[in-house]
Amino acid sequence: MSTPDDPPADSKLTRSKRRWAQEARFLTGRTSRPGEQRLPPGQHLTRDWPTLDLGLTPDISRERWRLDVYGAVEQPLFWNFSQFTGRPQANFTSDIHCVTTWSRYDNQWEGLSTRDLLGACRPRDEARFVLLHSHDGYTTNLALEDFAAEDALLAHSWSGAPLEAEHGGPVRLVVPHLYFWKSAKWLQSIEFLAEDAPGYWEVRGYHNRGDPWLEQRYSGD
Ligand SMILES: Nc1nc2c(c(=O)[nH]1)N[C@H]1C(S)=C(S)[C@@H](COP(=O)(O)O)O[C@H]1N2
Ligand SMILES: [Mo]
């Protein structure tokens, strides 16, 4: 038996993705800047919205959901869903870029901007990184500046409706300027750290930062 916080054993998809990292698949060797072209190098546009996960979909109701914010912060937080949505709400529209090469334009998100969250928890001076923990045992790490991007948010709704469980509901992170694996679904807790701590994909061959414009797909790129 694994505890709820252990990631599940490899699935067909996670095995393929580990192999793609070893083979450095999909790399074009081109880079560009966000202002120059909307679609990052090596990406193609999709109109549907694929689902990527570790082979399981946690079933968490809004009633049971809690957000735990801890570590190097002046004010640790432990919010239930109505405390979370009681904060000022942000609406952002952004593009998704998945490292497996699909991109999806114009996603409408509603939730709490990460800047508002930072205002509430007040990271201490030594805080330089965040590690996101999810209900499926997934983790992913971000530099504090990336987490604090202007259009990053903890989203509970997409296209005006509650975020579906398969896409990470009740609440997921959305960090539009990085590959979508940084956008943790089924968010459970946010840990503020002085030292970086690589997450699930970052220890399985994927880049520590994941900028799609620089094609930072794999570690060692
Ligand atoms: N908790 C959790 N978050 C996750 C993942 C996951 O497996 N578990 N997969 C990541 C990857 S690789 C991608 S591309 C996106 C997929 O989000 P979607 O299924 O809503 O398209 O979620 C990211 N966040
Ligand atoms: Mo992904």
Which ligand 1 atom lies nearest to the CA of residue 186?
1
pLDDT, residue 220, reads 76
- With a 6 Å cutoff on the Cβ, whether 217 touches ligand 1 is no
Q: How many CB atoms lie within 10 A of CB 144?
A: 16
- With a 6 Å cutoff on the Cβ, whether 180 touches ligand 1 is yes
pTM, rounded to two decimals? 0.96
Tell me which residue has its CA closest to atom 21 in ligand 1: 51
16 pLDDT higher than 90: yes
How far is residue 64's CA from residue 121's CA, in Å, rounded to a whole number? 22
Q: How many CB atoms lie within 10 A of CB 188?
A: 22
Instruction: At 124, list the tokens.
Output: 């201490």
pLDDT band, residue 129 (cuts 50/70/90)? very high
2 pLDDT higher than 80: no
Proximal ligand: closest to the CA of 136: 1
pLDDT, residue 13, reads 95
Residue-wise pLDDT tens digits, 76-106: 999 999 999 999 999 999 999 999 999 999 9
pLDDT, residue 221, reads 61
Q: What's the 186 CA to ligand 1 centre distance in angstroms?
A: 9
Residue-wise pLDDT tens digits, 169-210: 999 999 999 999 999 999 999 999 999 999 999 999 999 999
**What is the residue type of 89?**
Q
Query: What is the rounded average pLDDT of the residues 110-132?
Result: 98
How far is residue 125's CA from residue 73's CA, in Å, rounded to a whole number? 9
How many angstroms separate the first and last alpha carbons of the chain? 36
pLDDT, residue 3, reads 47
Structural domains in the chain? 12-28+40-48+63-214 (3.90.420.10)
1 pLDDT higher than 50: no
Proximal ligand: closest to the CA of 187: 1
- With a 6 Å cutoff on the Cβ, whether 52 touches ligand 1 is yes
pLDDT, residue 89, reads 97
How far is residue 58's CA from residue 103's CA, in Å, rounded to a whole number? 24
Buried b (16+ CB within 10 A) or exposed e, 25-42: beeeeeeeeeeeeeebbb
pLDDT, residue 9, reads 94
pLDDT, residue 196, reads 98
Residue 34 CA: distances (Å) to CA of 31, 45, 142, 176, 211:
10, 15, 19, 11, 10
- Which one is predicted more confidently, 127 or 34? 127
Pocket test for ligand 1, best of 11, 180, 186, 189 (most atoms within 8 A of CB): 180
Average pLDDT, the chain: 95
Residue 31 CA: distances (Å) to CA of 28, 43, 75, 157, 216:
8, 12, 40, 32, 10
Contact call for residues 62 and 184 (beta carbons, < 8 A): no
Pocket test for ligand 1, best of 53, 57, 136, 182 (most atoms within 8 A of CB): 53
Q: What's the 70 CA to ligand 2 centre distance in angstroms?
A: 26
Residue-wise pLDDT tens digits, 153-172: 999 999 999 999 999 999 99
